[in-house]
């Protein structure tokens, strides 16, 4: 009996589940973004108010609601927990890898391997942030927009408009705007407007507006125009100021993409000389626009430039695919090998830290971090040790990956390394960065006390303290609460308020009956 080969897109989708589903909720959500978004979705479920996002049951106007709706649906299916908060992005990873392998016969499967085997794309599919879906919708807008401009088919205009509208409804205008500029310049350069018809353009733009603006219109009709004013003010503030203290040097996003997309970024460097070719050019243009735009923006956050993950990995995959029957040039392989050698050195330092954290304390100046390290009592996890060996093996494998088959084996090693490093290192990072705050919130919740932070900002008290809306039928103890202070900042403790020390924090209980 003969069995048909399993389609590549099914293998890619299964590979996504294997990579990102196990242990998804083992580590608490990270402050700010993960907890912030998970809390907005939790409050939707609690209040039943799905049109107006809220945080602490006050209007939250920084983001549109599409991603929150996905998280809320996940909560309804699996309960309100960390795993359910991150599950939409696992599904996004499944869709992304499956689409890559199915939509582009040939280089698509390599693209999926390269995307899953690069550092930040892999990590973000295990997170609860908005960007994986936002960037996928945005890149689909580019991909099908290019098809529409080249072929002039109305169906491609409709799909591109739909995806752009979904991106607008997910996080706002930044990604659709950059993609629209790319498509506009591409259309002018290659005079694509001659191949399409006004009906196709009107259909695409109408779908974009209908899908992307419907929530803004409905919200404005019900609650007034204040949302749009606050939303626009927030976007301008991000552009003109370093919001929440997120600053960086002018080349910040270039450095993030080079390190965060290894090894794909190394092969992207090899593909740059092909950038004037028509199949490379719009993707290179989008990378330039993304890096340029977010280098101007004062607020520097790692995931702001994450739209560039798609064109960078696509150009790298296409360049490698074109050399599948030839020897892969040494230059990019050497760069990729050194990238992973430095990652192996970083893992080695992490292992030494986990073995003897006290030896590192004299070299750490931050009082909060030092206190949290002592509180967390870091312990070595075996995945970190295995990741050190696989990272070293990946480095040597990339150096010797002069053939296509050897490259595929190297990408399997990079993917395995990232997965093991997440299991071995991220739990310790979470404990040191925010563990005491999460512990305090859970303790206060157990005693039925609302919890607040005093001299620092955190979204953890909302999600892990399970804050409820005013007038909730089962309020916490009247007049009693818990306060969390950072010990490295000035603070004032209320009278008759016993305190416990948790790492770099003080947790004070104010009981009404005292």
3-state SS record for 415-442:
HHHHHHHHHHHHHHHHHHHHHHHHHHHH
Burial class (CB in 10 A: 0-12, 13-18, 19+), 512: exposed
> Is the pLDDT at 514 greater than 50, yes or no?
no
Sequence-distant (6+) residues with CB within 8 A of 115 are 96, 97, 100, 121, 264, 309, 313
Confidence of residue 248 (pLDDT cuts 50, 70, 90): low
Closest C-alpha among 497, 379, 389, 508 to residue 455: 508
Closest C-alpha among 435, 264, 260 to residue 336: 264
Question: What DSSP state is assigned to residue 357?
Answer: G
Question: In degrees rounded to 5, what are phi and psi of residue 482?
Answer: -120, 140
Arithmetic mean of pLDDT over the chain: 88
From CA 162, how far away is CA 48, in angstroms rounded?
27
The residue among 104 and 240 whose pLDDT is bigger is: 104
Residue 146 CA to chain centroid, in angstroms? 25
Q: Would you say 257 and 308 are in contact if contact means Cβ atoms under 8 Å apart? A: yes
Q: Would you say 430 and 27 are in contact if contact means Cβ atoms under 8 Å apart? A: yes
> Is the pLDDT at 466 greater than 50, yes or no?
yes
Hey, how many other C-beta atoms are within 10 angstroms of the C-beta on 317? 26
Kindly state the average pLDDT of the residues 488-495.
78
From CA 200, how far away is CA 148, in angstroms rounded?
9
Ranges 148-152, 164-168, 408-412, most confident? 164-168
Q: Would you say 156 and 148 are in contact if contact means Cβ atoms under 8 Å apart? A: yes
pLDDT at site 465: 86
> Is the pLDDT at 335 greater than 90, yes or no?
yes
Digit-coded pLDDT (tens) for 127-158: 999 999 999 999 999 999 999 998 888 999 99
- Through-space distance between the first and last CA atoms of the chain, rounded to whole angstroms: 79
In the numeric block, which tokens belong to residue 218?
A: 């409905």
Sequence-distant (6+) residues with CB within 8 A of 61 are 53, 227, 230, 231, 234
How far are the Cα atoms of 118, 275, 315, 410 from residue 322, in angstroms, in the given order?
20, 14, 11, 18
Hey, how many other C-beta atoms are within 10 angstroms of the C-beta on 462? 21
Largest Cα–Cα distance of the chain, in whole Å? 81
* H or E element, residue 486: strand 481-486
From CA 237, how far away is CA 482, in angstroms rounded?
33
Confidence of residue 62 (pLDDT cuts 50, 70, 90): confident
pLDDT at site 238: 67
From CA 37, how far away is CA 17, in angstroms rounded?
23
Burial class (CB in 10 A: 0-12, 13-18, 19+), 162: buried
Question: What DSSP state is assigned to residue 63?
Answer: S
> Is the pLDDT at 243 greater than 70, yes or no?
no
Residue listed under structure tokens 């309020």: 475
Radius of gyration (C-alpha) of the chain in whole angstroms: 24
Q: What is the pTM of this model?
A: 0.92
Kindly state the average pLDDT of the residues 25-52.
92
pLDDT at site 338: 95
How many residues are listed for the chain in this entry? 514
């Amino acid at each position: 009996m003969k069995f048909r080969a399993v389609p590549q897109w099914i293998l890619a989708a299964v590979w996504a589940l294997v990579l990102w589903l196990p242990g998804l909720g083992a580590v608490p959500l990270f402050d700010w973004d993960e907890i912030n978004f998970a809390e907005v979705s939790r409050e939707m479920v609690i209040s039943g108010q799905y049109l107006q996002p809220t945080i602490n049951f006050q209007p939250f106007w920084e983001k549109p609601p599409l991603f929150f709706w996905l998280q809320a649906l996940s909560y309804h299916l699996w309960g309100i927990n960390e795993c359910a908060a991150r599950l939409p992005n696992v599904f996004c990873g499944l869709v992304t890898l499956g689409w890559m392998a199915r939509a582009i016969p040939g280089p698509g499967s390599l693209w999926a391997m390269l995307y899953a085997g690069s550092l930040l794309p892999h990590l973000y599919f295990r997170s609860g942030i908005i960007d994986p879906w936002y960037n996928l919708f945005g890149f689909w807008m580019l991909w099908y927009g290019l098809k529409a401009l080249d072929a002039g088919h109305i169906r491609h205009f409709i799909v591109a408009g739909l995806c752009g509208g979904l991106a607008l409804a997910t996080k706002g205008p930044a990604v659709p705007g950059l993609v629209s500029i790319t498509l506009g310049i591409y259309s002018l350069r290659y005079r694509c407007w001659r191949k399409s018809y006004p009906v196709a353009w009107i259909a695409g733009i109408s779908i974009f507006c209908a899908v992307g603006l419907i929530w803004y219109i409905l919200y404005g009709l019900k609650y007034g125009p204040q949302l749009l004013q606050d939303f626009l003010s927030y976007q301008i503030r991000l552009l003109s100021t370093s919001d929440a203290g997120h600053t960086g040097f002018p080349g910040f996003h270039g450095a993030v993409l080079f390190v965060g997309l290894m090894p794909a970024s190394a092969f992207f460097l090899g593909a740059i000389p092909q950038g004037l070719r028509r199949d490379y050019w719009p993707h290179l243009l989008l990378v330039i626009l993304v890096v340029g735009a977010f280098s101007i923006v004062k607020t520097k956050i790692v995931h702001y430039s994450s739209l560039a993950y798609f064109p960078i990995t696509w150009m790298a995959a296409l360049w490698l695919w074109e050399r599948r029957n030839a020897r892969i040039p040494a230059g990019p392989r050497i760069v990729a090998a050194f990238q992973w050698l430095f990652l192996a050195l970083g893992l080695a330092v992490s292992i030494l830290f986990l073995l003897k954290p006290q030896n590192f304390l004299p070299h750490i100046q931050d009082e909060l971090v030092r206190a949290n390290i002592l509180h967390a009592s870091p312990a070595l996890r075996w995945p970190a040790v295995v990741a050190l060996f696989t990272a070293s093996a990946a480095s040597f494998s990339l150096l010797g990956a002069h053939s296509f088959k050897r490259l595929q084996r190297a990408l399997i090693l990079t993917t395995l390394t990232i997965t093991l490093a997440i299991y071995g290192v991220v739990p310790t990072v979470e404990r040191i960065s925010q563990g005491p705050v999460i512990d305090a919130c859970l303790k206060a919740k157990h005693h039925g006390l609302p919890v607040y932070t005093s001299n620092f900002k955190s979204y953890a008290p909302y999600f892990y303290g399970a804050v409820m809306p005013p007038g909730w039928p089962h309020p916490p103890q009247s007049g009693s609460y818990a306060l969390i202070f950072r010990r490295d900042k000035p603070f004032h403790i209320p009278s008759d308020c016993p305190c416990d020390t948790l790492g770099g924090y003080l947790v004070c209980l104010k009981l009404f009956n005292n």
